């Protein structure tokens, strides 16, 4: 029998990707740093990379009886609550919520500190059995630095990034982990035992369907967790932003009539050469 | 030295209202089960359902394997089990009307046929749920529950079979062609019944494993009518029949099944007793259907609301991007950025679509919530009545007393009745009896017309299969929503009875005062115009109840649908507008509690308030038009005959009076028709009408015209907000 695992998934929330995401200078709602236009009003989702991590965690914990999954999330409480209405239906987990900004402009260092401090406080968490999951990057920033720092702060030095698969080996002989490397290939490593940090790429699991029964079970702990959520102290010398703007999309349309296909092809090839 | 003028910055709607807003408006901010259900149903709607529509699954009325996949999607996402109690495999405790309404809303946001398919299963179970025996309930509900992990069983699917081939039942419960007789009745054993029923337009017909069918006795040993449960494996014929060649809701299955089956008498919904050798069903089919439809019709109304609200985003996107690309508009120019939104009419029409969507959703969800309150009350009332064991004249007397007590309680004279279940039930029931048909009638009927407006805002695109948001389908589908579970005439008929009920009217009077108070606290909502329109409606009802037409015929009576039906329509406008205003106020009150809303709340409430105003003005206009035509239209217009001329001045008389009171002749000519000495008069149909006793109405009407002040300004503001609101980059479901 393999030893039951304690899997902690770090996952933030990000605006729904279909929304118009326009950076805005500091304002009344976000005085300290830039934000997105109407950021609080945009529907949010669990960061897609973290979501893969969560689904993988649920999958792994189902294979290793007695295991448990926590989702540690730093974000505005009210937004977290909305996101939970979907995420809670997808996999059994216990939420640990930290109230604070989830914007792409928050400092990864401060976020990592808040996450690590919170994980250290999780009652009943056995650090010897800990697998720390999360996204290898996030849709809000994509710097790929937070999880590594959380791991370092918790003293976990076995770190894997760009993970697409973890498989428990037979007879409790550790885990096989597949990480993305250059050239579209994977590197396979053996992890003899936890603790370890796994920063997930997409994995191979489909998004689980919503199951309100699972959701109702999760809600019993999620709502109290949201009520308990402490505000994270996120001050500290982070980056300062001189200005923020969207990369410009340029469109150069030229209307020409009666141009022979060969001519068009030649122009395209020439243009590609320029790029 | 001048005073510093501080201009308040106008706050505009920043983003389309999201879940946190809807949860407050429709009062489920504290119901996590429902919030999850919404997400779950939405994922099905905008995923598998939308993909099917986009792939052209609606092009056939046949029940295809692709369409069948939806059933599994409903099962897996918890939609199928919404209707069930936790003990039967469900997950929602307590009444489920609001839950079902939310599911219907989410599914119909993409495709109403998908909503119909899921709801039809509940409709099949509803007779059993509302009036079935405990054994029937447990048996069928748990069979319809989707398999739990580890179980390998297909859940049962049901169909509700009332409608029959012409000339028999539509939704009117009168004529039934389906028959039941005793096939075998051995002494001391349960009778075996033979059921013959043909259905027409029956949803879920292609795959139903059981049906709840309305039948009439064709045997002296069975009394009256009843509903029976028929199962696929019963001996005899269970023919799923041919598919209906329908033009709408093609993601659901509809067909004309034929049943000729032998079933035990215990399949009568609600059971039976035996009296003098005759099987007496516990409930007639009419009693069951009434209990069923009064709940399920609300969800149908909600479907059309969802479609109207779903049209906003695609229309805004179409309008804004109309001139992008090519050389006619360069980026940054108003034409490029706003496109058709530069034109006042385009945005103002969209404001009206949106306002209708909000009002109808508010009405629908209010009705659903009333039924959620009513359900437990009903059960407690039934217990109380069962204890009292009243029957015959005693029961009739008690009912009359109840009505009296309810009125006394409402007038504040009997506060001691606050805990009296039967009274509280009667009060709420009278509201439910109005809200349900009103929602079904107005949401779908007027909704269909506004859906056409939405389609027209998309130009030619609107009536193509490529139209984002499937608006063309949604328009056509609305016609079915207006028809099934009772076409508009049936709703109007029901309203013409329930809206004249004194207990309802007592509450309606209080609602008028409530709207005045709202107007006092929040003048911008249009509540004042609405209150005046409500007053006018009430005045008109009383007038019609006690008046006759030019031929001496009573005006307000069942057969006089030309009187009762339009007045029923008028009421719907008022109810929808009232619910919309109450919801907007709720948001203003509760919104600040949600920090996620704080940033955009001022703009959002200002916008929703303007929508209320727009809708209230429209409602007032409709009510004014309808009431005026009813109040005046049944009188005969005076003619230039002896009777008509009797009310006119004679020119000779006026001249004589002029000698006594100089100036009187000119003055009188300004007010009254005058017959000249040669018998001539002004060229028109007859002397102008001066109906005695209608001045009060005329005063109300002119007051109401004044109440419209500011409503167009509200529309202008709302329209401007539509040019500023941020919308997502793309629709979140395929087109
Ligand atoms: C796609 C689809 C699915 C359906 N699903 C089901 C189902 O699952 N189960 C089921 O039992 N039935 C179902 N029906 C049947 C549906 O409920 C009936 O079609 C509907 O109730 C109208 O009945 P009818 O077609 O007989 O119209 P009619 O009763 O003939 O009505 C036609 C018109 O006549 C007028 N009219 C009728 N009665 C009155 C009146 N009293 N006063 C004034 N005017 C009146 C109105 O203008 C009315 O619109 C479905 C129908 C469709 C099209």
pLDDT tens digit sequence for A109-144: 999 999 999 999 999 999 999 999 999 999 887 788
Distance CA B561, CA A30 (A): 60
Q: Which residues of chain A neighbour B37 with C-beta distances below 8 Å?
A: 212
Cβ-proximal residues to B546 (8 Å cutoff; 6+ apart), any chain: none
> At B171, is the pLDDT very low, low, confident or very high (cuts 50, 70, 90)?
low
- Torsion B683-B684-B685-B688 (CA) sign: negative
Segments making up each domain of chain B, as ranges: 19-283, 294-635+704-722, 644-690
pLDDT at B433 over 90: yes
Cβ-proximal residues to B631 (8 Å cutoff; 6+ apart), any chain: B540, B543, B544, B694, B697
Residue A75 near chain B (CB below 8 Å):
no
Picking from B78, B595, B727, the nearest residue to A210 by CB comes out as: B78
Q: What is the pLDDT of residue B108?
A: 98
Neighbours of A98 (CB within 10 A): 22
Which among B351, B713, B348, B705 has a CA at the least distance from the CA of B528? Answer: B705
Q: What is the pLDDT of residue B173?
A: 55
Q: What is the DSSP letter of B303?
A: H
Picking from A16, A38, A213, the nearest residue to B91 by CB comes out as: A213
What are the tens digits of pLDDT across the range A44-77? 999 999 999 999 999 999 999 999 999 999 999 9
Distance CA A217, CA A94 (A): 10
> Ligand 1: which of B198, B243, B253, B489 to mutate, judged by most atoms within 8 Å of the beta carbon?
B489
pLDDT at B573 over 60: yes
Ligand 1 geometric centre to CA of B240 (Å): 20
> Ligand 1: which of B213, B230, B242, B484 to mutate, judged by most atoms within 8 Å of the beta carbon?
B484
Residue A166 near chain B (CB below 8 Å):
no
Residue B635 near chain A (CB below 8 Å):
no
Cβ-proximal residues to B646 (8 Å cutoff; 6+ apart), any chain: none
- Torsion B457-B458-B460-B466 (CA) sign: negative
- Give the DSSP per-residue string, A158-187: -EEEEEEEEEEPGGG--EEEEEEEGGGEEE
Residue A129 near chain B (CB below 8 Å):
no
- Please give the C-alpha separations between residue B691 and each of B129, B634, B638, B683, B698, in angstroms, as whole numbers: 54, 11, 10, 21, 10
Q: Which residues of chain B neighbour A219 with C-beta distances below 8 Å?
A: 32-33, 36
Average pLDDT, chain A: 91
| Contact across the interface for A19 and B728, Cβ inside 8 Å | yes
Distance CA B515, CA B350 (A): 26
Q: What residue's CA is closest to ligand 1, atom 22?
A: B170
Q: Which residues of chain A neighbour B734 with C-beta distances below 8 Å?
A: none
| ipTM reported for the complex surpasses 0.90 | no
Q: What is the pLDDT of residue A166?
A: 96
For the ranges A270-274, B274-278, B339-343, B616-620, the lowest mean pLDDT is seen at: A270-274
pLDDT at A248 over 90: no
For the ranges B150-154, B348-352, B469-473, the lowest mean pLDDT is seen at: B150-154
What are the tens digits of pLDDT across the range B475-493? 999 999 999 999 999 999 9
Q: What is the DSSP letter of B149?
A: T
Cβ-proximal residues to B299 (8 Å cutoff; 6+ apart), any chain: B97, B100, B101, B103, B104, B115, B119, B364, B368
Q: Within 13 Å, how many C-alpha atoms sit on residue A29's CB side?
A: 20
> B572 is written with which tokens?
């719907």
What are the tens digits of pLDDT across the range B395-405? 889 889 999 99
Residue A90 near chain B (CB below 8 Å):
no
Q: What is the pLDDT of residue B17?
A: 96
| Contact across the interface for B32 and A219, Cβ inside 8 Å | yes
Verify cis geometry, omega within 30 degrees of 0, for the bond prior to B29. no
pLDDT at B545 over 80: yes
Query: What is the distance in angstroms between the Cα of B704 and the nearest Cα belonging to chain A?
Result: 38
What mean pLDDT do residues B230-245 have?
Answer: 97
> At B3, is the pLDDT very low, low, confident or very high (cuts 50, 70, 90)?
low
pLDDT at B629 over 90: yes
Query: What is the distance in angstroms between the Cα of B16 and the nearest Cα belonging to chain A?
Result: 9
For A250, the closest chain B residue by CA position comes to B331
> B274 is written with which tokens?
């035996």
| Beta strands in B660-712, from DSSP E residues, in sequence order | 674-675
> At B172, is the pLDDT very low, low, confident or very high (cuts 50, 70, 90)?
low
Q: Which residues of chain B neighbour A29 with C-beta distances below 8 Å?
A: 598-599
Query: What is the distance in angstroms between the Cα of B109 and the nearest Cα belonging to chain A?
Result: 17
Average pLDDT, chain B: 94
- Give the DSSP per-residue string, A63-85: HSTT-EEEEEEEE-HHHHHHHHH
Residue B149 near chain A (CB below 8 Å):
no
Distance CA A60, CA A92 (A): 12
Q: What is the DSSP letter of B151?
A: -
> At B170, is the pLDDT very low, low, confident or very high (cuts 50, 70, 90)?
low
Q: What is the pLDDT of residue B264?
A: 98
Q: What is the pLDDT of residue B531?
A: 98
Percent of chain B with pLDDT over 70: 98
Verify cis geometry, omega within 30 degrees of 0, for the bond prior to A195. yes
Does residue A142 lie within any of the structural domains? Answer: yes
Q: What residue's CA is closest to ligand 1, atom 16?
A: B484
Q: Phi and psi (nearest 5°) for B731?
A: -65, 145
Residue B50 near chain A (CB below 8 Å):
no
First and final C-alpha spacing in chain A:
57
Percent of chain A with pLDDT over 90: 64
Distance CA B460, CA A198 (A): 52
* CATH topology for the B19-283 domain: Butyryl-CoA Dehydrogenase, subunit A; domain 2 (2.40.110)
Q: What residue's CA is closest to ligand 1, atom 39?
A: B489
Q: Are B718 and B351 in contact (CB under 8 A)?
A: yes
Does residue A247 lie within any of the structural domains? Answer: no
Q: Which residues of chain B neighbour A42 with C-beta distances below 8 Å?
A: 15, 18
Q: Are A158 and A130 in contact (CB under 8 A)?
A: no
What mean pLDDT do residues B85-108 have?
Answer: 94
What mean pLDDT do residues A207-219 have?
Answer: 91
What are the tens digits of pLDDT across the range B249-306? 999 999 999 999 999 999 999 999 999 999 999 999 999 998 899 889 999 999 999 9
Q: Are A194 and A129 in contact (CB under 8 A)?
A: yes
Residue A226 near chain B (CB below 8 Å):
no
Does residue A240 lie within any of the structural domains? Answer: no
**What CATH number did the domain enclosing A201 receive?**
3.40.50.620
What mean pLDDT do residues B147-162 have?
Answer: 90
Q: How many CB pairs under 8 A join A and B?
A: 107
What are the pocket residues of ligand 1 if the criterion is a CB atom closer than 6 Å to any ligand atom?
A: B 120, 160-163, 170-172, 201-203, 246, 249, 254, 480, 483-487, 489, 493, 561
Q: Which residues of chain B neighbour A28 with C-beta distances below 8 Å?
A: 599
Q: Which of helix, strand or coil describes residue A32? A: coil
Residue B735 near chain A (CB below 8 Å):
no
Residue A62 near chain B (CB below 8 Å):
no
Distance CA B538, CA B696 (A): 12
Q: Which residue has the higher pLDDT, B165 or B205?
A: B205
What mean pLDDT do residues B328-332 have?
Answer: 87
Q: What is the pLDDT of residue A219?
A: 93
Picking from B15, B33, B81, the nearest residue to A38 by CB comes out as: B15
Which domain does A62 fall in, by range? 6-231
Picking from B36, B598, B730, the nearest residue to A88 by CB comes out as: B36
Q: Within 13 Å, how many C-alpha atoms sit on residue A82's CB side?
A: 25
Burial of B348 (0-12, 13-18, 19+ CB in 10 A): middle
Q: Which of helix, strand or coil describes residue B341? A: helix
First and final C-alpha spacing in chain B:
62
Query: What is the distance in angstroms between the Cα of B49 and the nearest Cα belonging to chain A?
Result: 14
Q: Which residues of chain A neighbour B727 with C-beta distances below 8 Å?
A: 20
Residue B14 near chain A (CB below 8 Å):
yes
Does residue A18 lie within any of the structural domains? Answer: yes
Residue B728 near chain A (CB below 8 Å):
yes
Q: What is the pLDDT of residue B1?
A: 46
Percent of chain B with pLDDT over 90: 86
Q: Are A82 and B36 in contact (CB under 8 A)?
A: no
What are the tens digits of pLDDT across the range B688-722? 988 778 999 999 999 999 999 999 999 999 999 99
Counting the structural domains of chain A, the total is 1
> Ligand 1: which of B170, B214, B293, B481 to mutate, judged by most atoms within 8 Å of the beta carbon?
B170
> Ligand 1: which of B62, B476, B483, B486 to mutate, judged by most atoms within 8 Å of the beta carbon?
B483
Picking from A79, A210, A219, the nearest residue to B77 by CB comes out as: A210
> At A235, is the pLDDT very low, low, confident or very high (cuts 50, 70, 90)?
low
Q: Which residues of chain A neighbour B327 with C-beta distances below 8 Å?
A: 253, 255
For A38, the closest chain B residue by CA position comes to B14
């Amino acid at each position: 029998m393999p030893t039951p695992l304690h899997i902690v998934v770090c996952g933030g929330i990000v605006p729904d990707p279909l929304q118009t995401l326009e950076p805005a200078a500091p304002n009344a709602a976000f005085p300290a740093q830039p934000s997105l236009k109407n950021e609080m009003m945009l529907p949010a989702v669990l960061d897609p990379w973290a979501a893969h991590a969560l689904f993988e965690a649920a999958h792994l914990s189902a294979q290793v009886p007695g295991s448990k999954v926590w989702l540690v999330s730093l974000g505005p409480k009210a937004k977290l609550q909305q996101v939970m209405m979907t995420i809670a239906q997808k996999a059994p987990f216990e939420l640990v919520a930290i109230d604070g900004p989830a914007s792409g402009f928050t400092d990864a260092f401060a976020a990592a500190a808040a996450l690590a401090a919170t994980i250290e406080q999780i009652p009943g968490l056995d650090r010897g059995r800990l697998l720390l999951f999360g996204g290898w990057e996030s849709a809000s920033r994509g710097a790929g630095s937070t999880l590594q720092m959380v791991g370092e702060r918790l003293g976990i030095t076995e770190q894997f990034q760009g993970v697409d698969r973890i498989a428990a080996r037979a007879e409790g002989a550790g885990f096989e982990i597949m990480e993305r490397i250059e050239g579209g290939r994977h590197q396979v490593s053996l992890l003899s035992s936890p603790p370890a940090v796994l920063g997930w790429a997409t994995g191979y699991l489909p998004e689980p369907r919503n199951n309100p029964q699972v959701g109702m079970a999760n809600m019993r702990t999620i709502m109290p967790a949201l009520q308990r959520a402490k505000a994270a102290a996120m001050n500290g010398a982070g980056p300062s932003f001189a200005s923020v703007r969207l990369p410009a999309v340029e469109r150069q349309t030229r209307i020409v009539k009666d141009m022979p296909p060969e001519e068009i092809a030649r122009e395209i090839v020439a243009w590609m050469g320029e790029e | 030295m001048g005073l510093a003028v501080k201009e308040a910055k106008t706050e505009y709607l920043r983003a389309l209202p999201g879940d946190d807003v809807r949860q407050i408006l429709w009062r489920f901010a504290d119901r996590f089960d429902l919030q999850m259900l919404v997400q779950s149903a939405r994922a099905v709607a905008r995923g598998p359902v939308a993909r099917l529509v986009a792939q052209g699954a609606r092009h056939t009325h046949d029940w295809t394997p692709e369409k069948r996949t939806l059933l599994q999607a409903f099962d897996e996402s918890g939609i199928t089990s919404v209707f069930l109690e936790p003990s039967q495999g469900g997950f929602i405790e307590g009444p489920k009307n609001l839950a079902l309404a939310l599911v219907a809303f989410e599914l119909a946001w993409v495709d109403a046929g998908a909503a119909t398919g899921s709801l039809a299963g509940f409709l099949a179970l509803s007779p059993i749920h509302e009036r079935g025996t405990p054994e029937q309930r447990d048996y069928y509900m748990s069979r319809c529950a989707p398999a739990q992990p580890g179980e390998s069983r297909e859940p049962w699917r049901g169909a509700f079979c009332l409608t029959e081939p012409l000339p028999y039942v539509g939704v009117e419960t009168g004529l039934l062609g389906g028959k039941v007789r005793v096939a075998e009745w051995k002494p001391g054993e349960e009778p075996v019944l033979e059921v013959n029923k043909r259905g027409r337009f029956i949803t879920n017909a292609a795959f139903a494993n059981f049906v709840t069918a309305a039948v009439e006795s064709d045997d002296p040993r069975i009394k009256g009518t009843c509903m029976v449960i028929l199962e696929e494996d019963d001996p005899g014929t269970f023919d799923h029949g041919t598919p209906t060649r329908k033009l709408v809701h093609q993601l659901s299955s509809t067909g004309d099944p034929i049943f000729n089956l032998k079933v035990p008498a215990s399949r009568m919904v609600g059971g039976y007793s035996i009296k003098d050798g005759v099987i007496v069903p516990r409930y007639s089919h009419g009693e069951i259907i009434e209990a069923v439809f009064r709940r399920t019709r609300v969800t149908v109304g909600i479907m059309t609301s969802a479609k109207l609200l779903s049209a906003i985003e695609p229309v805004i996107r179409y309008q804004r991007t109309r001139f992008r690309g090519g050389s006619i508009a360069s980026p940054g120019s108003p034409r490029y950025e706003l496109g058709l939104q530069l034109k006042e009419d385009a945005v103002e029409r969209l404001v009206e679509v949106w306002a209708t969507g909000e009002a109808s959703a508010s009405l629908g969800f209010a009705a659903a919530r009333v039924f959620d309150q009513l359900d437990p009350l009903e059960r407690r009332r039934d217990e109380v009545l069962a204890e009292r064991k009243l029957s015959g004249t005693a029961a009739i007397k008690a009912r009359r007393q109840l009505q009296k007590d309810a009125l006394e309680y409402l007038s504040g004279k009997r506060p001691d009745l606050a805990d009296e279940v039967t009274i509280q039930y009667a009060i709420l029931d009278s509201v439910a009896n109005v809200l349900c048909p009103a929602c079904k009638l107005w949401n779908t009927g007027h909704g269909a017309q506004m859906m056409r407006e939405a389609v027209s805002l998309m130009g030619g695109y609107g009536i193509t299969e490529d139209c984002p948001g499937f608006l063309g389908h949604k328009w056509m589908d609305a016609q079915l929503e207006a028809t099934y579970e009772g076409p508009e005439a049936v709703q109007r008929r029901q309203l013409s009875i329930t809206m004249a009920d004194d207990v309802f009217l007592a509450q309606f009077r209080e609602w008028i005062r409530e709207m005045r108070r709202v107007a006092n606290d929040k003048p911008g909502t249009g509540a004042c115009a609405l209150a005046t329109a409500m007053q006018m409606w009430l005045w008109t009802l009383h007038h019609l109840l006690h008046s006759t037409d030019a031929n001496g015929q009573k005006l307000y009576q069942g057969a006089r649908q030309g009187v009762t039906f339009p007045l029923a329509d008028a009421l719907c406008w008022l109810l929808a507008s009232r619910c919309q205003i109450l919801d907007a106020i709720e948001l203003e009150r509760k919104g600040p509690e949600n920090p996620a809303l704080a940033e955009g709340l001022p703009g959002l409430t200002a916008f929703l308030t303007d929508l209320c105003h727009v809708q209230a003005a429209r409602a007032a206009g409709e009510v004014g038009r309808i009431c005026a035509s009813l109040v005046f239209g049944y009188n005969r217009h005076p003619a230039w005959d002896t009777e008509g001329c009797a009310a006119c001045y004679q020119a000779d008389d006026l001249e004589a009076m002029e000698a006594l009171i100089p100036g009187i002749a000119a003055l009188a000519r300004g007010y009254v028709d005058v017959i000249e000495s040669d018998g001539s008069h002004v060229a028109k149909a007859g002397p102008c009408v001066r109906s005695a006793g209608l001045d009060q109405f005329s005063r109300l009407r002119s007051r109401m015209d004044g109440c419209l002040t500011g409503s167009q300004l509200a529309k202008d503001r709302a329209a401007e907000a539509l040019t500023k609101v941020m919308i997502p980059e793309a629709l979140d479901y395929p087109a």
